[in-house]
């Protein structure tokens, strides 16, 4: 049974007093494992906030960093400009602060944190996992384009990986996802790969490429992966 959820703005960056992200958690006094959820190129728009609430209702404390700091794109051209202007190293710094913030919250137990990201957030999930190593206990990058790791870079990822792609994705060629899957296998990473019979961004129910059946399967795989590795 899904849990009732509270959604609040939080500050977690050093010296910050404003909104650095949005936190969703099950209501009540219990403690739960934690997840950082990373936005698509649009920003913290309704789809991402809804995913935060849905994931929290499954028994997680979920934090979505606001990487655009209050701004949300309405059109693809605007979203692309914002993504290109984003300093990726700075974004990963914010993600690292989000992980550290979750690990010391009294409502997070065990002290385990996973990361899930979508589109741009999928790419950032991969890169954050390279940097954060054993600070993460599971990751789930969904259709994160532009990620072309070396064997050494994949080897830096300690967390079990649920890698989700779309079969008909013009942003991510088949050879790109096969390259990553091969490196995960070659380096002995704990991993699972699912290629959905859908298009890019099939999880986003506010966009034309939404695929209800694949989104349902993707969410079930996501929650199962995190329950397995974070609980």
pLDDT in tens, 94-146: 999 999 999 999 999 999 999 999 999 999 999 999 999 999 999 999 999 99
pLDDT of residue 138: 98
Catalytic residue of the set 97, 123, 200, 229: 200
Whether 119 is catalytic: yes
pLDDT of residue 43: 97
Catalytic residue of the set 52, 169, 211, 229: 169
**pLDDT tens for the chain, residues 1 to 231:** 789 999 999 999 998 888 999 999 999 999 999 999 999 999 999 999 999 999 999 999 999 999 999 999 999 999 999 999 999 999 999 999 999 999 999 999 999 999 999 999 999 999 999 999 999 999 999 999 999 999 999 999 999 999 999 999 999 999 999 999 999 999 999 999 999 999 999 999 999 999 999 999 999 999 999 999 999
Mark 96-132 as b/e (b = at least 16 C-beta within 10 Å). Answer: bbbbebbeebeebeeebbbbbbbbbbbbbbbbbbbeb
pLDDT of residue 67: 98
Whether 169 is catalytic: yes
Whether 214 is catalytic: no
pLDDT in tens, 72-84: 999 999 999 999 9
pLDDT of residue 17: 84
Q: What sign results for the dihedral spanned by CA atoms 17, 43, 213, 126?
A: negative
Q: How far apart are the first and last CA of the chain?
A: 17
Q: What sign results for the dihedral spanned by CA atoms 107, 109, 111, 114?
A: negative
Give the distance from CA 51 to its chain's centroid.
10
CA gap 24, 84 in Å, rounded:
28
pLDDT of residue 1: 72
pLDDT of residue 2: 86
pTM: 0.97
Catalytic residue of the set 47, 66, 119, 191: 119
CA gap 228, 231 in Å, rounded:
6
């Amino acid at each position: 049974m899904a849990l009732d959820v509270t959604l609040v703005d939080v500050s977690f960056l050093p010296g910050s007093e404003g909104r650095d992200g949005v936190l969703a958690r099950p209501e009540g006094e219990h403690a739960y494992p934690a997840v950082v959820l990373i936005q698509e190129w649009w920003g913290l728009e309704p789809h991402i906030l809804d995913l935060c609430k849905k994931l929290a209702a499954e028994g997680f404390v979920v934090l979505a960093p606001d990487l655009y700091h209050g701004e949300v794109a309405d059109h693809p051209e605007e979203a692309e400009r914002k993504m290109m202007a984003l300093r990726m190293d700075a974004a990963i710094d914010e993600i690292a602060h989000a992980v550290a913030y979750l690990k010391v919250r009294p409502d997070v137990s065990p002290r385990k944190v996973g990361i899930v990201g979508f589109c741009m957030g999928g790419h950032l999930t991969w890169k954050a996992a390279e940097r954060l190593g054993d600070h993460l206990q599971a990751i789930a990058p969904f259709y994160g384009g532009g990620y072309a790791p070396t064997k050494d870079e994949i080897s830096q990822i300690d967390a079990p990986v649920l890698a989700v792609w779309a079969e008909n994705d013009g942003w991510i060629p088949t050879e790109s996802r096969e390259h990553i899957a091969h490196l995960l296998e070659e380096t002995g990473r704990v991993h699972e790969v699912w290629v959905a019979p859908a298009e890019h961004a099939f999880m986003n129910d506010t966009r034309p490429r939404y695929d209800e059946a694949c989104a349902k399967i993707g969410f079930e795989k996501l929650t199962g992966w995190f329950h397995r590795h974070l609980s």
